[in-house]
Structure 1
Amino acid sequence: MHTGKRFTPLEFAKWTRKDTYWMLLLATVPTILYELGLKFLAIPLAPVAILGTSVAFIVGFKNNASYSRLWEARQIYGSIINDSRSFAYTLRDALGTDNNNIIQRMFYRHFAWLTALRYQLREPRSWENMQRHSNQEFQKEHYNIPERQTTLEDELLKFLSHEERQYILSKKNRATQLTALQSEELAALRQKGLINDFQWTQLQQGLMKFTDDQGRAERIKNFPYPRNFSSIATYLLFIFVVMVPFGLLREFDKLGVGTFLEGYSIWLNIPFSAVVTWAFHTLDTVGESSVNPFEGSANDVPITQISRTIEIDMRDMLNESALPAPVMPENNIVL
């Protein structure tokens, strides 16, 4: 997540520079050929304008869907914050001060769940965009992905016993199995009489909320923006970008007639065509950069920061003095 007022013009220009070079090239070639006498290359502007309207609609639809996925992901983690706090103080007050060791063990197991979940959500998918050179370059220059700096195995050492850690690492969906261990322990506490049926029901409902939050996050992670909509947007945008310079040739050629620009105005086709095509292409790229909110991009939901915030709050409930430091933005980027 970007925490500044905006990306700087330099950052934006550098991020899109390769695409900008292509736009300039696509505008330059037909302009030179037209000037060399191949006047038949000019096409009517009306079909280009109609196509541009279609592209504007479909890119707008895609960007709206991308924002919806991003905002839903943020709502999910907002729910995890609230559900974690509720679960923590309900568990603490149900067990009382005589069972601090049990409370701490279950709190730490919840930290392990937060950790396992964020590692699972950061796993790459074939349809995600972090493999794009521009995104990789921006990431290397501006921020680090925490889940790439350490391993899940090392992180779980902080929260789980050796036996539980080995058990969890042997499972495919580690976050699910950690919630299952929490449920198992609650059942044991109920059988021992340390919590009553009402308290067990409340705490079990808390675990069910975590399961729901995890499932909603996994749905976004594992179900991409539909490939049919994504493909048609890409194909129509490509056709539009190629056609724009040809559609504007005659318009810029006529622009200078009777003025001091006569014979030279055709060269204005290069910058203006590049600006128009860059605008459409960059709008599509911006939408694409937000459509997968857990991939590790600069526009991600800050799940590492949120997980750390929850850990600090819950450790504070245990009256621990050595609280971990909050995750702070790096070059205005926080994950």
Structure 2
Amino acid sequence: MHTGRRYTPLEFFRWSFRDTILLLLIATVPTVLYVCGLTFIAIPWQPIAVLGTAMAFIVGFKNNASYGRIWEARQIYGAIINDSRSFAYTLRDIINNQQPQTVQQIFYRHFAWLTALRFQLREPRSWENMRRSSNKDFLRGRYIIPECESTLEEALKPYLTGEELRYVLSKKNKATQLTAMQSQALAALRQEGLLNDFEWTTLQGSIMRLTDSEGRAERIKNFPYPRNFASVTTYLLFIFIILLPFGLLKEYSKLGDGTVLEGYTIWFNILFSAVVAWAFHILDTIGESAVNPFEGSANDIPITQISRTIEIDMRDMLDEPSLPEPIVPQNNIVL
């Protein structure tokens, strides 16, 4: 997540530099050919204007859908924050005086669940965009993806016993198994008489809400923005960008007629065609970069920071003297 007031022009320039050069090249080729006498390559601008209007609607639809996905992801983690806190203080207040070690163990197992979930959500998918060279270049030296800097086993060690760690690592969906272990622990407390039916139902309800949030996050992670819409947008945008400079050749050629710029205004076609093409392309790219809110991009939901905030709050409920440091933005980026 970007925490600054806005992306700076330099950041945008670095992010889109390769694409900008390509767009200038696409606009230059037909302009040079037209100046060299191949005037027949010019085409009417009206069909291109119609295509541009359609592209504006399509790109707007895609960006709206992208924002919907990222906002839903933020709501999911907002629910995880609230449900984690309510689960923690309810459990603490019920059995902390009787079995404080058990409360701490359940708390730490919850930290392990948060850790396993964020590692699962950071796993790459074939449709995600972090493999793009522009995103790699933007990431390099600017911020790090914490889940790429360590292994899940290393991250889970502080929270689980050796036996629990081996058991969890042997499972496919590790976050789900940790939730199942929490449910099992609550059932054992109920059997021991430390929880009555109402208290068990209340705590189990918190576990179920956390499971629901996990499933909603996995749905966004594992179901991409529909490839048919994404493909149509890409193909139509490509056609529009290619045809745009051809459609503006005659317009810029006669723009300077009767003035001192006569014969020179054709070169404006390179700049202005590239600018219009860049505007459409960058809006589409922005939508694409935000459509996968857990992949590790600069526009992601800061699930690592949120998980650390929950851990700090829950450790504080146990009155632990040493709390982990909060995660702060690095170059205005926080994950």
Partner of 1:15: 15
Runs of 5+ unmatched residues, structure 1: none
What is the CA–CA distance in structure 1 between the aligned matches of 2:85 and 2:39, rounded to whole Å?
A: 70
1:144 match: secondary structure? coil
What is the CA–CA distance in structure 2 between the aligned matches of 1:77 and 1:196, rounded to whole Å?
A: 30
> Which whole-Å deviations, capped at 9, do the CAs of 1:155-205 have from their partners, x for residues lacking one?
111000000000000000000000000000100100010110000000000
Residue pairs, 1:141-180, within 5 angstroms = 141-180=141-180
Query: Runs of at least 4 residues of structure 1 off by over 2 A?
Result: none
Could you tell me the TM-score, scaled by structure 1's length?
Answer: 1.00
2:98 match: secondary structure? helix
1:289 match: secondary structure? helix
What is the CA–CA distance in structure 2 between the aligned matches of 1:102 and 1:324, rounded to whole Å?
A: 21
1:67 match: secondary structure? helix
What is the CA–CA distance in structure 2 between the aligned matches of 1:92 and 1:145, rounded to whole Å?
A: 33
Partner of 2:325: 325
What is the CA–CA distance in structure 1 between the aligned matches of 2:187 and 2:194, rounded to whole Å?
A: 10
What is the CA–CA distance in structure 1 between the aligned matches of 2:154 and 2:141, rounded to whole Å?
A: 26
Deviation at 1:94, TM superposition (A): 1.2
Matched AA of 1:23: L
Matched AA of 2:202: Q
What is the CA–CA distance in structure 2 between the aligned matches of 1:59 and 1:235, rounded to whole Å?
A: 12
What is the CA–CA distance in structure 2 between the aligned matches of 1:241 and 1:48, rounded to whole Å?
A: 10
2:261 match: secondary structure? coil
Partner of 2:72: 72
What is the CA–CA distance in structure 2 between the aligned matches of 1:185 and 1:10, rounded to whole Å?
A: 53
In the alignment, does 2:127 pair up with 1:127? yes
Aligned residues: 335
Partner of 1:277: 277
Partner of 1:307: 307
Structure 1 stretch displaced more, 80-89 or 95-104: 95-104
Percent of pairs with identical residues: 70
What is the CA–CA distance in structure 1 between the aligned matches of 2:56 and 2:270, rounded to whole Å?
A: 21
> Which whole-Å deviations, capped at 9, do the CAs of 1:197-256 have from their partners, x for residues lacking one?
000000000000010000000000000000000000000000000010000000000101
What is the CA–CA distance in structure 2 between the aligned matches of 1:141 and 1:324, rounded to whole Å?
A: 25
Partner of 1:211: 211
Matched AA of 1:158: P
What is the CA–CA distance in structure 1 between the aligned matches of 2:157 and 2:40, rounded to whole Å?
A: 70
Partner of 2:36: 36
Runs of 5+ unmatched residues, structure 2: none
Partner of 1:140: 140
Partner of 2:105: 105
Partner of 1:234: 234
Matched AA of 1:148: C
Could you tell me the TM-score, scaled by structure 2's length?
Answer: 1.00
> Which whole-Å deviations, capped at 9, do the CAs of 1:39-70 have from their partners, x for residues lacking one?
11110000000000011110000000000000
CA RMSD of aligned residues (A): 0.5
Matched AA of 1:203: L
